[in-house]
Amino acid sequence: MAELSKNDEREATPNVSEVDVVDAHSETEAVAAVEAPVDRGEPILQIRGLKKHFPLTQGILFKRQVGAVKAVDGVSFDLYQGETLGIVGESGCGKSTVAKLLMNLEQATAGEIFYKGQDITRLSGRALKAVRRNIQMVFQDPYTSLNPRMTVGDIIGEPFDIHPEVAPKGDRRRKVQELLDVVGLNPEYVNRYPHQFSGGQRQRIGIARGLALNPEVIICDEPVSALDVSVQAQVINLMEKLQDEFDLSYIFIAHDLSIVRHISDRVGVMYLGKVVEIGSDEQIYDHPTHPYTQALLSAVPQPDPEAREHRERIILTGDVPSPANPPSGCSFRTRCWKAEARCAEETPLLAVPQRFQGGDTPANHESACHFAEEKDVVHAA
């Protein structure tokens, strides 16, 4: 992956949040969706039919459930060793809930998460602790995710309290200093407090903490969104360097389509708790077949005036439906310009559309739309 320059970054900031998304799958659909691409080896993570429904309750003394917020509603995808899978989608589509489910910070309502073939939703105690060591997280906000009363050394070394086998007591300071060095911070800063660092440096501390237990997978939930544009590129470049050095697999969640394209090998687009389209960065950005993805891409600000002039801006109308009451059939249908009667009756599967199956075309990737077709939209910068 090429280095992202500060200029790239400046052109790369545009966001997705004004647009909406689509999608839908049942558990059966979800399974159909996961036909592993060739030549990537075995997936390190396999997510199948993952759901998280938060109960909606009524009453003060006697609470009763009156519904559920379907934050994640049947998500399936694979993560391969050493790759970066980007996940994009507007606010509230369930990205962070997926991250929390993968980290076991939330318990799944249904579905499975296989780590090297083992379903971690069914593990507990020591077995779960052993697996969890291999899956770590980097959070969005380096200001609130670091305890202001702890020194950097204590913050980075805290995971060793739970896994002392990684760094025995006498060896911790050296190990923490090594981690500071790895993320480009002065090892002498070990006794400083978070407020003595800039935003970018704090995110480096967050990354060092994420690396402490030598994980194989890092879930990054908007890791650069809270940073100044000028600092985002440095942190992204660091993450790419660390990926090569430690053979890490990343799930990279973000709003910013350009940054996601830069760092990702494959990209999944989410709408209302579901993945609506997934494929390589080229397939998703240059050959999207789902109307929601096409709308998202058409909304990316275009720095090139000529391209700007020729682009087709797809304006979606209507509000994003509530995840407590998603539309029947395709959940994007209330905002989709291509919707037909079938879209209200039949939930589209996340699968390679029949007409593209086996074809030597970049449209040959998974898309949850009955009428999936390529559309020439303006590409992200």
Q: Which residues bind ligand ATP (CB under 6 A)?
A: 54, 69, 71, 89, 91-97, 323
Which of 70, 19, 85, 77 shows the shortest CA–CA distance to 48?
Answer: 77
Smallest distance, Å, CB 359 to ligand ATP? Answer: 32
Residue among 350, 197, 218 at smallest CA distance from 277: 350
Under DSSP, is residue 96 helix (H, G, I), strand (E, B) or coil?
helix
∠ CA 296-374-332, nearest 5°, is 45
Nearer to Mg ion, 72 or 363 (CB): 72
Shorter beta-carbon distance to ligand SF4: residue 194 or 326:
326
Q: Where are the alpha helices (DSSP H) in 19-83?
A: 27-33
Question: Which listed option, Mg ion, ligand ATP, ligand SF4, none, makes contact with residue 176 (CB within 5 to 8 Å by class)?
Answer: none
Query: What DSSP string runs through 312-335?
Result: ------SPPPPTTSPPSSSTTGGG
Cα separation, 170 vs 335, whole angstroms:
59
Is the CB of 52 or the CB of 287 nearer to ligand ATP? Answer: 52
- Residue 97 sits in the site that holds Mg ion (CB under 5 A): no
Q: Which of 15, 46, 76, 96 binds Mg ion (CB under 5 A)?
A: 96
Q: For the CB of residue 87, give the shortest distance to Mg ion in the complex, in Å.
A: 10
The candidate with the shortest Cα–Cα distance to 80, out of 250, 240, 235, is: 250
Stretch that binds Mg ion, among 13-21, 34-42, 89-97, 154-162 (CB under 5 A): 89-97
Q: In DSSP terms, which residues pair with 252 in a beta bridge?
A: 86, 220
CB 106 to ligand ATP: min, Å: 8
Q: By C-alpha distance, which of 135, 142, 299, 100 is closest to 232? A: 142
Nearer to ligand ATP, 69 or 314 (CB): 69
User: Minimum Å distance from CB 287 to ligand SF4?
Assistant: 16
Residue placing its CB nearer to ligand SF4 in the complex, 158 or 373: 373
Interface ranges with ligand SF4 (CB under 6 A): 22, 291, 330, 332-333, 336, 338-339, 343, 348, 369-371
CB nearer ligand SF4, residue 22 or residue 233: 22
289 vs 283, 286, 326, 333, CA distance in Å?
9, 10, 22, 15
- Count of Cβ atoms closer than 10 Å to residue 213 Cβ: 18
Q: Which is nearer to ligand SF4, 133 or 370 (CB)?
A: 370
Q: Taking CB within 5 to 8 Å according to partner kind, which of Mg ion, ligand SF4, ligand ATP, none is near residue 114?
A: none
Minimum distance, C-beta of residue 201 to ligand ATP, in the bound complex (Å): 24
CA distances from 371 to 341, 346, 348, 358 (A): 12, 12, 9, 18
Supply the minimum distance, in Å, between the C-beta of residue 352 and ligand ATP: 25
Residue 262 contact, options ligand ATP, ligand SF4, Mg ion, none, Cβ 5-8 Å cut-off depending on partner type: none
